[in-house]
Amino acid sequence: MNKKGFTLMELLATFVILAILALVTAPIITNVLKDARRNTFEASVDELVNVINMDYSEYGRVGDVNYSFDGENLLCKGCVAVPNSTPEDLPLDYTGELKVSAPAELSNDNGKVTGTVKGTEFTAVISENKVTIQEENNEN
């Protein structure tokens, strides 16, 4: 007798093997994606710190200088662009793609940036130019 096709047991065995593979690989893929988002967030915050330090040193700022970042605009608060001019909020050239859930207030005191940047998934705590990433707890 010439049989064509698969038996029910062969099909069930194939589906069970595929289900086991999916259960094993899904968490691994999820963790890889989360790590990639975390690394991207950290790199963007590092770039933000670098831009603030470049502004601080390039314009010879002294003491404690405050900065604000709203996800699109990085401003030097009450800074002077040209000597003997009126202090104002000066925009800085930050081209990163950092998404924040709340505006960040940062400060640079003699070349040491401090502050907190809250993203949608992670929070970056900056202390003396060192960035520490914490995961947001979004349990509702």
Please tell me the predicted confidence (pLDDT) of residue 29: 93
Within-domain flag for 24: yes
Q: Could you report the per-residue pLDDT of 20-78, keeping only the tens digit for each?
A: 999 999 999 999 999 999 999 999 999 999 999 999 988 888 889 999 999 889 999 98
Within-domain flag for 107: yes
What is the edge-to-edge ordering of all strands in the sheet holding 74-79?
A: 88-92, 74-79, 64-69, 104-109, 112-118, 122-127, 130-135
What is the secondary structure of 7-30 as a DSSP string? Answer: -HHHHHHHHHHHHHHHHHHHHHHH
Q: Exposed/middle/buried for 124, CB within 10 Å: 0-12, 13-18, 19+?
A: buried
Please tell me the predicted confidence (pLDDT) of residue 3: 72
Within-domain flag for 1: no
Domains of the chain: total = 1
Q: How many residues in total does the chain contain? A: 140
Mean pLDDT of all residues in 131-138: 85
* 5 pLDDT more than 90: no
Residue 125 lies in domain: 8-135
**Cβ proximity of 67 and 75 under 8 Å:** yes
Within-domain flag for 140: no
Within-domain flag for 103: yes
Closest to 47 measured CA to CA, from 136, 126, 105:
126
* 80 pLDDT more than 50: yes
The reported pTM is 0.80
Please tell me the predicted confidence (pLDDT) of residue 39: 93
Within-domain flag for 12: yes
Q: How high does pLDDT run on average in the chain? A: 90
